[in-house]
């Protein structure tokens, strides 16, 4: 007796190249742990992520640590002035070497005191002189790609063959330099967590960031601050932008002086996890990170850049931390619960060909990048 083979067809997303004709990523793409495991190798370990500010790494020995999921890295300035990246793991028994930010002209493991030069070469291994055939060259730190983007921002990539970020997003770097007032004068503030972990898949959080279709109903104060009628979204390459002029100076979010140096809202997203943000008011820029922490959990991290000596606008900060951020987090967590529903399959994009307030073109652009990376 011959039994027919049961062939399981691979699941596919119904994404059309035209956002006006396309469905969204289906719900299973946000809740299936197998999809998340595929994302690790296809997206997170192969693309560029924000590590820190270039002005944190001016001097020999200056370092920052950064991570993507379970992979922790060090970015450090060598004695020769070269910026290098390494996996943050001792080559002896795998203890992490450094944490946070600081200066370490010699990197010493806190476990057994193996030490490394800032160029990654093994300096000392206690007792190794008694070990036959011990070769220091065998135990250098493993390299990670690093790159300075738009002069101010340091990125890392675990893929040694990755295309340089400067080649993939040179137009974004130039746009940020041009559109952020006094950009070259900005200096960094400490990296910080922006609120508690979000109980939502990282793609839900990115989706929410990439459109302002939800702004009028879900962010009434933001829709009072920013002119929704003139709001524009554009997506290209591996990034997208959202821009709008000020709506009202005396608005429900926070007061903006009529002579404020920044009269516009600017939001840029860079595949896969980084954002650059500027709101009306004082000069400045924030870099945000939507960092996956698991299939249904995401961390929001950020670093602010301001003019030297300038005091942060506490009203603008309070609006972001206490109103806008929590509003977005609640939306994302409610969407995550809905994506697990048996009553949901996939949605349909709303598209304005002129890139206006209601368009979800940037979300569609993001979904196609995800689908292409995962072969969906």
Global pTM value: 0.94
Three-state secondary-structure class, residue 7: coil
**For tokens 């008694």, what's the residue?**
130
Three-state secondary-structure class, residue 87: strand
Q: How confident is the model at residue 7 (pLDDT cuts 50, 70, 90)?
A: very low
Q: How many CA atoms lie within 13 A of 184 on its CB side?
A: 2
First-to-final CA distance of the chain: 36
Catalogue all structural domains in the chain, each as residue range(s) with its CATH number. Answer: 49-157 (2.102.10.10), 171-374 (3.90.380.10)
Q: What are 13-69's pLDDT values in tens digits?
A: 889 999 999 999 999 999 999 999 999 999 999 999 999 999 999 999 999 999 999
* pLDDT at residue 6 tops 50: no
* pLDDT at residue 4 tops 70: no
Q: What are 212-266's pLDDT values in tens digits?
A: 999 999 999 999 999 999 999 999 999 999 999 999 999 999 999 999 999 999 9
* pLDDT at residue 193 tops 90: no
CA distance 61 to 266: 34
Can you point out the beta strands (E) in 29-172?
49-53, 62-68, 71-77, 83-87, 101-103, 106-108, 115-117, 122-124, 143-149, 153-157
Q: Dihedral through CA 311, CA 316, CA 319, CA 322, nearest 10?
A: -10
Q: How confident is the model at residue 8 (pLDDT cuts 50, 70, 90)?
A: very low
Which pLDDT does position 5 carry in this prediction?
41
Which pLDDT does position 194 carry in this prediction?
84
DSSP string, 143-204: EEEEEEETTTEEEEES-TTPPPHHHHSHHHHHHHHHHSTTGGG-EE---EE-SSPBSS-HHH
């Amino acid at each position: 007796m011959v039994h027919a083979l049961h062939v399981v067809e691979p699941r596919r997303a119904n994404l059309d190249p035209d956002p006006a004709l396309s469905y969204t990523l289906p719900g299973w793409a946000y809740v299936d742990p197998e999809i998340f495991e595929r994302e690790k190798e296809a997206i997170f370990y192969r693309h560029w992520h924000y590590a820190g500010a270039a002005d944190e790494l001016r001097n020999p020995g200056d370092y920052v640590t950064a991570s993507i999921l379970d992979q922790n890295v060090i970015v450090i300035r060598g004695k020769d002035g070269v910026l290098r990246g390494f996996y943050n793991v001792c080559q002896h028994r795998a203890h992490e070497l450094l944490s946070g930010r600081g200066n370490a002209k010699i990197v010493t493991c806190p476990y057994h005191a193996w030490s490394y030069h800032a160029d990654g070469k093994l300096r000392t291994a206690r007792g190794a002189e008694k070990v036959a055939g011990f070769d220091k060259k065998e135990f250098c730190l493993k390299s990670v790609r690093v790159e300075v983007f738009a002069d101010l921002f340091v990125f890392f990539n675990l893929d040694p063959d990755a295309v340089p970020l400067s080649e993939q997003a040179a137009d974004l770097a130039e746009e940020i330099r041009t559109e952020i007032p006094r950009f070259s004068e900005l200096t960094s503030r400490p990296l910080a967590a922006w609120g508690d972990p979000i109980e939502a898949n990282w793609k839900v959080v990115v989706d929410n960031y990439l459109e302002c279709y939800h702004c009028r109903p879900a962010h009434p104060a933001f829709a009072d601050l920013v002119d929704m009628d003139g709001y524009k979204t554009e997506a290209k390459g591996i990034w997208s932008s959202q821009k709008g002029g000020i709506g009202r100076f005396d608005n429900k979010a926070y007061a903006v002086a009529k002579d404020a140096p920044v009269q516009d809202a600017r939001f840029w997203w860079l595949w896969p996890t980084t954002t650059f943000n500027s709101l009306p008011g004082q000069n400045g820029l924030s870099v945000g990170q939507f960092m996956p922490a698991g299939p249904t959990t995401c961390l929001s991290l950020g670093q602010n850049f301001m003019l030297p000596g300038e005091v942060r606008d506490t009203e603008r900060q309070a609006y972001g931390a206490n109103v806008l951020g929590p509003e977005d987090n609640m939306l994302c967590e409610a969407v995550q619960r809905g994506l697990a529903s048996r009553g949901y399959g996939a949605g349909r994009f709303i598209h304005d060909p002129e890139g206006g307030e209601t368009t979800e073109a940037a979300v569609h652009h993001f979904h196609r990048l995800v689908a292409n990376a995962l072969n969906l």
